[in-house]
Structure 1
Amino acid sequence: MSDDNDKRWYTRLPTISVALVAFLVTLTTLINNVREIGGLKDKKPAVSAAAAPAAPAPLAQPAQPKAPTRYSVVLTLEKIEVVNDGTSGSTSWTFDVSAGGQDLFELPSRDYNDAEDTRIATPRTSDPSMGRVTLVPGQEMLVKISGRSGGLISKLSASGTGTLVAERALAPVKVVAADPRDGEFIFHFATAATPQ
């Protein structure tokens, strides 16, 4: 007979116990690794209500609103204040409005008059008077207005600039010819910024 059959069962016990301990260590390591990967390690085991006193729940802070990354700004011409139209009567002017190098709209030729009762001109319903630009927070965009008058005797031109920032309204833009007696206007815009 062989030697294995002659040995009693208790003589093999140390070998079996070592194998059992190695198996348990391996199994415990595997369970801990799976818990760590699955995010279960941070969870605390459930405690019965009778065993532990109830702790007040921490106050959940509301999520801070994310700052917008861009603004869509709509520029709408409200009125033009005519300080000097450039002649003794009414004068026909055309104005181009651009922002950041992008053409927004052109006001077609129209008579402007600096007489006290007609010096405020509002856009006609048929006139384009609105434009949209996109700004990032803190960005400044140059709004440029160029005007020209094509008279028979002399051709006049005037220009002016303003700075548009999404977080505040556009200040009135003064549009002046090289000689203010040849044309001076103040453009008033409404601005509406929408976060995107």
Structure 2
Amino acid sequence: MLAMKITIFGKGNMGQAIGHNFEEAGNTVEYYGSHDHATDLGQIVIMAVPYPALKSLATQYANELVGKIVVDITNPLNFDTWDELVVPADGSAAQQLQEQLGQSTVLKAFNTNFAATLKSGKNGDQTTTVLVAGNDQAAKDTFSDALKGSPLTVVDAGALKRAREMEAMGFLQMTLAANKKISWNGGWNLIHG
């Protein structure tokens, strides 16, 4: 595999944990915060920001994102109530982003993972599973290839419309952790039987 340049918008726990895995796989990673000005974006661009920041970030960098693989990690929940998703029931944040960035390829990934399980590569005693959804198979393959050599297992979850279910899973996982039903070191995983 050829090493790639990965751009991550977001310097928080998720951005750092995701970047760690791309670095483990031999890629170069650049991080940008909300006040930084990004130039020369990588082939894969990770949007490791809260959902409310997604639209403005995509607007700001629309020209630079043309032709890029853009990975949306957000869970579009109502952060005031923690009791609902704020996208239409038949849509997703990722689908909204794809509509906004018509000349980019949007993938949904990492939203069903917590930073701790990404950082350690383990979910309990199992390897951490990263689900990825998107309409472009070549982009999903590129994404998976960029993580080969990391401790993560990438599973193709299907077309971008599967982001609806992934966001619902991510939302449920976050509410379970916030209500102390699970820890922030746990979460969903696939067991290949």
Larger strand fraction of residues? 1
Q: What is the TM-score when the length of structure 2 is the normalising length?
A: 0.23
Larger helix fraction of residues? 2
Q: What is the TM-score when the length of structure 1 is the normalising length?
A: 0.22
Q: Which has the larger radius of gyration?
A: 1
